Structure 1
Amino acid sequence: MTTPKFAQIKQFIVDKIRSGLWQENQRVPSENELSTQFSVSRMTARRALSELTESGILTRSQGLGTFVASFKSQSSLLEIRNIADEVKERNGNYTCSVLILESINAVAPIAIALGVEVESVVYRSVLVHNENDSPIQLEERFVNPALASGYLQQDFSATTPHEYLSSVAPLTQARHTVEAIMPNNEMCQWLNLYNEEPCLQVIRRTWSVNGIVSFARLVSPGSKYRLGGHLTFKK
């Protein structure tokens, strides 16, 4: 089966990053440059860049171009909190539905995000967090087995991935990307969204002292969830 052109472009970019030829924050070829190089339409090149951006591999800056994302921590207004604690603080009843808990072979974007080899085994979980029996967040998480070997043996209906990972690989750094998205059909089904509505998506990578622990995508209906932060400025 012939590999789609957009997938070829994605693999080309990933290979350049993995080899070290393209460094963090380095500008990558534009849609026009890629469409010329691979003899494809700009739409095809745009799809490749967009999917790598959504995965956190690239970052786009309006008017400047597309760059290799920084895989180090960055400051954030977001506090890393356990969603179960958030619900309980609102006097809500927290429950969790475990949809998927499996080991998979890492495709290139996931391998880069976790700092492991392509096709190496990683853990994947898909959960729905509920407040008062209503879904408020879909969590898809990829975990480095070397830093959390017992991940697949956990009962995530009783403890959250955040709680478990914090106990075996305490968080030292994190990187967030936050954006508004329209959910696909699968997301709508998992979140019980009968009317299409914008969702808040957080892409999060976390580190411990020993390396990258997990790469997660958190999707919440815009009508049910919001993010907040508090800043204290030194005098």
Structure 2
Amino acid sequence: MPHFKSQKNPRPYTPPKPLYEQVKAYVLKNMESGEWPAYFQLPSEHTLVREMGISRMTIHRALRELTQAGYLERVQGVGTFVAAPKKQPKILEIREIDDIIHSRDGRHQCDIHFLQAEAIEKGVAATIAMAPGEEVFRSYFVHRENGLPVMLEDRYVHPAFMPDYLSMDFSRVTADTYISRKYALLSHTHSIQAAVSNAEINHFLELEVTTACLVVNRKSWLGDDIISTVRLVFPGNRIQFT
């Protein structure tokens, strides 16, 4: 009986990349190394054909796909250039209020004015994709730094996604922390506006006079579903974002 020597951990077969992918890799390697910086004019297609030994059709496809992906810019009758680097959008990150306070060596306290189920009003229902009159969970908190009110939090939560919301002790953990721990893959949208305080804000934030405030409206999403919508009001003379 013939004896065959077995191979241990044979290297898996990796098929070679298509030629147009090899051309793209060659271009990107030159860009990443700095050999071809932004605005650099690439060699002509004829030159690349000669240097790489690949057909012009293949070269053309590779450059076209890199242009469509934003890596290159092609100017008719002039040539192909390395595209200018795209400016990355600045992502708004609003830290949780207890983190802001603790970073300043302050003491955070949350006053729970109400935490309840109620029928959602028509004007609010659309913001959380619910029908008017449906039961929604609502929380109304004031956050203090060393005893001074620095943020009013008026939040609506969809009961289907947070059924235990009303049983939580939000004097120990913020609502944002609790929601983010429950759903790690949340996304958020924000709108920010300047406003002056009204009687409600003056009362809960203990403002003696009408005060300029920053109002942040945030929606928290899980896929296509809205988990929470909240209005955060910061008196401008008491808190500063950095």
- Structure-1 residue corresponding to 2:197: 183
Q: What is the letter of the counterpart of residue 172 of structure 1? A: L
CA contact (8 A) 2:213 2:234 kept: yes
Please point out which of 134, 140, 145 is paired with 2:148. 134
- Are 1:169 and 1:213, in contact at CA under 8 Å, matched by a contact in 2? no
Q: How far 1:78 sits from its partner (Å)?
A: 2.1
What are the residue-to-residue correspondences of 1:103-118 with 2, within 5 Å? 103-118=117-132
- State how many pairs are aligned: 154
Q: Secondary structure at the match of 2:154?
A: strand
- Render the CA deviation track for 1:10-31: whole Å, top value 9, x for unaligned: xxxxxxxxxxxxxxxxxxxxxx
**In the alignment, residue 81 of structure 1 is paired with which amino acid?**
R
Equivalence for 1:98 = 112
Whole-Å Cα distance in 2 between the matches of residues 168 and 117 of structure 1? 25
Measure, in 2, the Cα distance between the counterparts of 1:94 and 1:162: 15
1:166 aligns with 2:180: yes
Alpha-carbon distance, 1:213 to partner: 0.8
The residue that corresponds to 2:214 in the other structure is: 200
Q: Say whether the 8 Å CA contact 1:148–1:169 is kept in structure 2.
A: no
2:162 to 139, 148, 151: 148
TM-score under structure 1 normalisation? 0.62
Contact residue 123 and residue 142 of structure 1 kept, 8 A = yes
**How far 1:134 moved relative to its partner?**
0.6
Residue 28 of structure 1: aligned partner:
none
Amino acid at match of 1:90: R
Correspondence list, 1:53-132, <5 A: 77-132=91-146
TM-superposition CA deviations, 1:174-225 (whole Å, max 9, x none): 1111111111112101101012111110111111236111110000111112
Separation in 1 of the partners of 2:155 and 2:185? 15
In the alignment, the residues of structure 2 paired with residue 170 and residue 115 of structure 1 have an alpha-carbon distance, to the nearest angstrom, of 21
Identity value in percent: 34
Q: What is the rounded CA distance, in whole Å, between the counterparts of 1:190 and 1:119 in structure 2?
A: 27
Matches of 2:152 and 2:169, distance apart in 1: 17
Q: Distance in 2 between matches of 1:188 and 1:118?
A: 29
Spell out structure 1 runs of 4+ moving beyond 4 A: none
Cα distance in 2, alignment partners of residues 194 and 181 from structure 1? 16
Where do 5+ consecutive residues of structure 2 fail to align? 1-88
Q: Which moved more, 1:97-106 or 1:163-172?
A: 163-172
Q: Per-residue deviation at 1:137?
A: 0.2
Larger Rg: 2
Q: Which amino acid aligns with 2:96?
A: N
| Structure 1, 167-176 or 116-125: larger mean CA deviation | 167-176
Q: Is the 1:78–1:227 Cα contact (8 Å) retained in structure 2?
A: no
Matched letter for residue 146 of structure 2: N
- 3-state SS in 1 of match to 2:217: strand
